[in-house]
Structures are given as C-alpha cells and as structure tokens.
Structure 1
Amino acid sequence: MSTMKQLSIYLLFLSLSGLSCQSFELAEPFKFSSKAETLAGHLHADTVSHYSTFYNLKYGKEPNQVYDLYLPARQDNRKDMQSVSLILVHGGGWALLDKSFLNPYVESFKKQGLNVTIFNINHRLADRNEINFPEIMDDFRTFFAHHDSLRDSLHLNNKKVLWGYSSGGHLALSYAYMYGYKNIDATVAIVAPTDLSDPKIHEHIYDDKGRNLCTYLIGQSFEEAPHEFRMASPINYVTKDTPPTLLIYGGSDFLVDQSQGQRLHEKLTKVKVHNHFELVPDATHDMDGKTHELIAQSVEFLNGL
C-alpha cells in the first residue's frame, strides 16, 4: 500500500472517530486560554510522546517536492487537538543532500513532548541553469499552499515555525522575511548565510567538485549579477514585521562566518524584532555532537514567544 493511501486511510479514521470541527470549537476541555494564544501556549497545549510517520508525501508535481510527515498520535479523547506546524529545511549548499540530513534533528524534536506536527521537506536542488533561487522559493509557496489545504484533516492550528540548517536556514529566513512574514510565527536558522553579497560567502562556498554553490543558486557569478545576490539575501528584507528569529552559529565555523548572524541580529534588534543570537564557541559548521543542544536552544527560544 502506498504511503499516500496509508495517510488517506489514517485521516479518514481520524475524521470518523474524532469530534467534528464544530464540536471542537464548543468543547470546553479544548478551549485555549489567553496564555495558550501565545506560540509557547500552543506548543505546550498537549504533551506528544508518539508520532505516526509518513514518508515521501508529495506537495507538488516535481520529484523533489516531497516531505516526511510526523503526525502526533494522541489519545482518543484528544484526537481533535490542534498542533503547531514545525517545518524543517535541510542543508547542503542549495544543490546537495536531502531531508534525511535532518533525521537526527527530527528525532530530537520528537523527544521534546511539544504539541507539533513535523514536516521535514525537500526542495528542488539548484543546478545553475534551470533551478535557481526563485524556483526554490516557488517550492516553498507550493509547499505552504499544500500545507494549508491539510489544516482541517491534520488538525493544524495557524501557528508555523520554520527551522533550517545552513543553506536550509538561508532559505527559511528568505521565505519568512520575503513572503511569510504574515503567517510564519518564528524562524530558527542554524549556521545560515544571510548576506550572499559578502565575499566570505559567495567566494568561499564550494562543493567537493569545485563548484561555487552560490553561483549555482543564483545562476550567475557575483561579478555577473551582484543585484541578484543581494535580492537573495534575507538581511536585506528586515522590517518591523519580520518574524521572531533565532540565529545559532559556530565559533569554529570556517564556512559560514558568525558575522553573518551577528549583522542580521543587529539589524533585527534595531527595528525591535524579537530575536536572539547564540554562538556555540567550539562548534564547526557541522555542529558535530551538538544536535540535542541545538534543539534545546530552539525550544528555549520558542518558549519565550
């Protein structure tokens, strides 16, 4: 049986066994208090310890437009409890790797007991010629349109957290700042490039084949298209409406310098956007052995919102 068919059967079971949307709104045990109207309140409205998992679900027509879904497995009397959406975006220099890169982070998030439905997403990989920054942003718009179509069937509330690692952090910040500032409630970016026009970024991010991955993302070199590099830099989209942002960097990261986060932190602070910059002194770009620490820092930040 296909994964999509399994999910459809599961959702049908939920709809038949749970309360209706109307009865959910009227049921006293599930009314949110004023405290629960905060993001932290929604994150702790229920304690989730088990998940039903569905792999490689499609959100679009392209092969890479897929995601893994981790759906809270609740007791029968809480089937209609709504959850926060936690969307994870993998790293890999925009042109490499996939969602499996973040599997250890998914497992760590699952152990936090948070009231979240987890979406670990793929996007099309940059190839310099056809798939560049605008196309990847289109993937995000396609994903969120798909996500919003599932709000009732998956019992999702309107709270969304976008969490990304390295290039995935850049993409998360870019989408949240450029397009999602009205419906993304928080963004967490780990070792993320924030200003592609910085020579420390566009002159130094290469893969093991010697390809300049910023050039792959933009489709041209910085010398050919400096404006496009600036347009793809989230640091240039900060406003007072920018979502709350957590930035975590490694003190021994020689790929993405901590100044990428510090400069964004300063700009966010200047316009009074809730944000926090965290430096892990001994960490490299790979954040080896830091998975649980990074998740704990993420949860601590979200608990303050």
Structure 2
Amino acid sequence: MNPDNDLRTLIAAPHPDEAPLPPAAVLADGVRLLRGVPYADVPGARPLELDLWLPEPRPGRSPAPLVIFVHGGAWRRGRREDMGYRMRRWEPGPFARIAAAGLAVASVDYRLSGEALFPAPLEDLRSALRWLVRRSPELATDPERVVVWGESAGGHLAALLALSPGAPRLKGAVAWYAPSDLTRQGDDPGSPEALLLGAPPADVPDLARQASPEAQVRPGAPPFLLAHGEDDSMVACDHSRRLAARLGEVGTAVELWTLPGADHVWHGLSDAQVDDVFTRTLRWIRQRTG
C-alpha cells in the first residue's frame, strides 16, 4: 500500500456508523445528553451532527420511543438545539422535558440552503434516520417506534421524510406551522423557497412539486399532526389545511389544530397556550408510540 494512503487511513476520523458515542452529561430527572454526535460524512460538507436526549436508564425498561426533531429557519439558518423562540427560556428545555417523559430525542442538523440545494436536506434526514436505526441498540431506543417532529421549514422537511417512499416506517409525523406547497410561491429569486430550490419555484415546477408535501401524499403514510396559527403572516394557515385535506383523501389519519390569534412560531399566544400546544403534541406522540 502507498504509505501516504496508509497514513490517511490511519488518521481519518472513524466513520459515523462505527464511531464511539461521546460521553453523556446527566441532567435533571436522570436525562442523559450527548451533544454533537456525527451521523453522516458528506464529501465537501461540514460534518452532520445531532444531539441526543435520552431518558434515564432503568433496569427492565423497554427501549424508548424516539422523536427526531427538525429545526426551522427558512431552510437558510437555525440551530438544532432550538425549538423556537417561545421555548428558548424554558427550564428544563423542551427536549429535556420530552426525555423526562420517557421518549428519546434526536435533534438533527441538515445542510442549509446556503450550503446545498434541495433535495440535500431531505437526504440528510434520511441519513439521520438510517443512523439512528443502526445505532438503536446502543442508544436503547426502539427503531419501530419513531416519530418525526419539525417546526416551520423543519416541519416541511419532517413531512417530506414521513412521505418518502421506501423510508423506514414511522409511527407519526408532526408539523408545526409548516409550508406544504412550494409550487404556489411565485417567481421571487430571493425568497426562501427559491434559495432552497436554486431558482424561483415558477422556473422549476417539477422540483418545486418534488419539494411539496402536499404533492407527495401517498396511501400508507403514517398518521400526521398538523398545528398552525390562524393568523400566521409568514406561512399561511391554508398550507396545513390543504395538506390535511389531501392526507384525508388517501385515508391517512390526520389531526389539524388551528389556533386563533396565533402568528408564526406561536407569536401572539400566551405562555400557557404555548405550553398547552407543546403538551398536547407530546401526548399525541406518546399515544402513537405507546
């Protein structure tokens, strides 16, 4: 073997499929937090990572259901530890609360529109799901009880993941105030949709349709929960209404919650109302994974 190639192999970081998990920090309620776990190596891109919140291990406890969380940010920005500005000051935070309720959480990075164009972020979520299934014995999670949950642009990607043909069967999908039809977004080259697709949706109609959950609805999809503010000024509530109708047409179980007085990211709701939406969503997930 060429000595240079041998040295490159020796010093290369372990592949994410085989790399040891990092040490866990123990939080309140016995929740374990593993930050910055690599799940994919994409040539020419930054390492793709996820954070894991795992319930307290107990003797005799069954593997935990898993929530894959996808952050928002118009596909252009955002951080995986952020569920939205209304929950940033929660203590404990929303992911720790989910883990304390007995569900594991994987909050996932994906390539943003300044790094790669669609379908790159969806491919990243598929890679994360594959990695989480592969490593489930180490994580004490149940690969047969997985729900994907996203907010805003993350809800859009979560819906597409749940609707992907051939993807491992999910138990449910949650999309908060998410766009569902990119084909109607017009010809503004600076819009978030155009930056995601590489061109205004009107110029790439086939790609815009591929990136639209409403157009990808198929029989056999997992149950959906869609939650949207009726006064959303950034993503009209009709996106969730139309997606719910389309899911219902093919026989998919779907719940649609529309919240009066709520703008995007639950702006306009009281703290108690935001807490209620979160709690009801968690209850829905537990019902699907129980």
Which range, TM-score by smaller chain?
0.7 to 0.9
Alignment of 1:56 with 2:36, yes or no, is yes
Structure 1 contact 218–229 (Cα < 8 Å) conserved: yes
Size of the aligned set, in residue pairs, is: 254
Q: Gapped runs of 5+ residues in structure 2?
A: 1-15
Change (3 A) 1:256 1:203: farther
Shift of 1:294: 2.4
Instruction: Find the counterpart in structure 2 of residue 85 from structure 1.
Output: 66
CA shift, 1:225, in A, is: 0.8
Deviation sequence 1:173-197 (CA, Å, 0-9, x none): 0111024654111000000000101
Identity of aligned residues (%): 24
Counterpart Cα distance in 1 of 2:73 and 2:22: 32
Give the Å deviation of 1:296.
1.4
Corresponding residue SS for 2:36 = strand
Q: Deviations over 1:114-141 (max 9, x none)?
A: 32111011101112xx611111122112
Encode CA deviations 1:78-100: one digit per residue, 9 max, x unaligned: 4x530111110000000111113
Q: Any conservation in 2 of the 1:53–1:70 contact (CA below 8 Å)?
A: yes
1:250 aligned partner = 229
Structure 1 residue 73 corresponds to structure 2 residue 56:
yes
- Structure 1 residues 267 and 84, CA, compared in 2 at 3 Å: closer, same or farther? same
1:114-193 residue pairs with structure 2 within 5 A?
Answer: 114-127=101-114, 131-157=116-142, 158-179=144-165, 182-193=168-179
Instruction: Provide the rounded CA distance (Å) in 1 between the counterparts of 2:23 and 2:97.
Output: 26
Are 1:108 and 2:94 an aligned pair?
yes
Give the letter for the 1:126 counterpart: S
Which residue of structure 1 lines up, in the alignment, with residue 12 of structure 2? none
Given the two structures, how large is their TM-score scaled by the length of structure 2? 0.79
SS of structure 2 residue aligned to 1:286: helix
Q: Is this contact kept in 1: 2:183–2:205, CA < 8 A? A: yes
The separation in 1 between residues aligned to 2:81 and 2:168, in whole angstroms, is 29
What is the Cα-based RMSD across aligned positions, in Å?
A: 2.6
Name 1:231's counterpart in structure 2: 210
Q: Normalization by structure 1: what TM-score?
A: 0.76
- 1:282 matched to 2:282? The reply is no
Structure 1 residues 237 and 81: CA distance shift in structure 2, 3 A: same
Shift of 1:9: 5.8
Counterpart of 1:81 in structure 2: which amino acid?
A: S
Deviation, structure 1 residue 108: 2.8
2:33 and 2:239 map into 1 onto residues whose CA distance is 35
Partner of 1:21: none
Amino acid at match of 2:155: G
Mark the runs of 5 or more structure 1 residues left unpaired by the alignment: 11-47, 205-209
User: 1:212-223 residue pairs with structure 2 within 5 A?
Assistant: 212-223=191-202
Q: Is the 8 A contact 1:181 1:242 kept in 2?
A: no
Superposition deviation, residue 144 in structure 1: 1.6
Whether the aligned pair in 1 keeps the contact of 2:150 and 2:157 (CA below 8 Å) is yes
**C-alpha distance in 1 between matches for 2:163 and 2:38:** 25
C-alpha offsets along residues 186-239 of structure 1, whole Å, 9 cap, x if unaligned?
Answer: 00000000010123xx568xxxxx931101111111232111111110111212
